[in-house]
Amino acid sequence: MSPLQPGDLITGLEIGPVAHGGHFVARHEGQVVFVRHALSGERVDVRITDVNRRYARGVVVAVRQASEHRVEPPCPVAGLCGGCDFQHVSAAHSRELKRQVVVEQLAHLAGYEFTGAIADVAPSPLHWRGRMRYRVDDQGRPGLLAHRSREIVPLPDGGCRIALPQIADPPVQSRAGGELRAVATAEAHYFGADESVEVTEYVGELRYQVAGDGFWQPHVAAARTLSEAVLAGLEPEPGEVAFDLYCGVGLFSGVLAAAGCRVWGIEGAATAVGLARRNVPGGTFVAGDVGRRLARLPRSADLVVLDPPRTGAGAEVLSRIVTRTPRRIAYVACDPAALGRDLRTLAELGYRTTAVSAYDLFPLTHHVECLAILEPR
């Protein structure tokens, strides 16, 4: 049994390297402790929050020796709210930490050497988020959940610091409890979890209808940034066949169709598929599991875009993709570990990674977005 117990206080703990997931690695009497709100090289006091057979988790409660990269958080509820785990880190150093994680994960899991930087994408590091999900307390006040908790942390004066200003400080609600969702386009849209709302998003001259509770990249510049990067990596030619897998409402389908490709897409959410058909009228879209529905798509493809959920695409889906012998694959990933596992699988299936780029589309958090381009070996 671990000598540590939840609630224990460790004083003067020396903090080691950053780990995937936004924690920092430390050791106490031989046991690994993953620490939130720390920085490498610091000496801190840590309150243990969770313990299992392999490791413990803790949170910094006092800093005895601070890193030069530690800053005063711009939000007064940082450390209470569960949203921004890198508010205590300078924006430039947070990108360096994310670079270290991408380097380690891709080297360890895929044998790929990432030599790039994490691109800063404006607006940054504040006022970048165009979609929010607030929780409403029993007085009707919108707030955000604490880390790994159902406790609602009230918004500070001035509202959420990473949200766009028009949705950063929602009004008190007449109905207590539940969720309040917010989407910022030209104006603010507020709606409850049981309400159906559509909003219009633009990527250049392309127009997309998106469900208010459906998936769209939260950073207001993410859709444009990733679309441009995918097009640059794939270099589509008019008339080519392109698959857009986990296509959502057809973001990449739209830009590929505009480049002259014949587009097929698959998405699990039927509502999103209906919107994709409206957003990209020339495309063909199928609702359902990607692995099972691939049989409905053409037997060959020139280009494939993958934008899977955080868990990745997996070997079954990837093996079915390579039977189409695409000349290039663009893999968009929100988790570098899942990306690393899938790049290793694709290497075993005969595809080599020719480039990886990374983008800071979640400033002041540990999250990072990557794009890998692959070609047949």
Catalytic member of 247, 261, 334, 370: 334
Residue 194 has pLDDT above 90, yes or no: no
pTM of the model: 0.95
User: Is residue 119 within 8 Å of 369, Cβ to Cβ?
Assistant: no
Q: Which residues contact 223 (CB under 8 A, 6 or more apart)?
A: 201, 203, 216, 217, 251
| Cα separation, 32 vs 53, whole angstroms | 10
pLDDT tens readout for residues 287-326: 999 999 999 999 999 999 999 999 999 999 999 999 999 9
% of the chain surpassing 90 pLDDT: 93
| Topology of the domain covering 95-123+201-376 | Rossmann fold (3.40.50)
pLDDT of residue 310: 95
Residue 137 has pLDDT above 50, yes or no: yes
pLDDT tens readout for residues 212-233: 999 999 999 999 999 999 999 9
Mean of per-residue pLDDT scores for the chain? 96
pLDDT of residue 2: 56
Q: What is the mean pLDDT of residues 43-61?
A: 96
pLDDT band of 198, cuts 50, 70, 90: very high
Residue 77 has pLDDT above 60, yes or no: yes
Domain ranges of the chain: 9-65, 95-123+201-376, 131-197
Q: In the beta sheet, which residues pair with residue 70?
A: 89
Q: Which residues contact 295 (CB under 8 A, 6 or more apart)?
A: none
| Topology of the domain covering 9-65 | OB fold (Dihydrolipoamide Acetyltransferase, E2P) (2.40.50)
Query: H helices of the chain, where?
Result: 91-110, 222-234, 251-258, 270-279, 290-293, 315-322, 336-348
Cis peptide before 123 (omega within 30 of 0): yes
> Is 261 designated active site?
no
pLDDT band of 1, cuts 50, 70, 90: very low
User: Is residue 201 within 8 Å of 210, Cβ to Cβ?
Assistant: yes
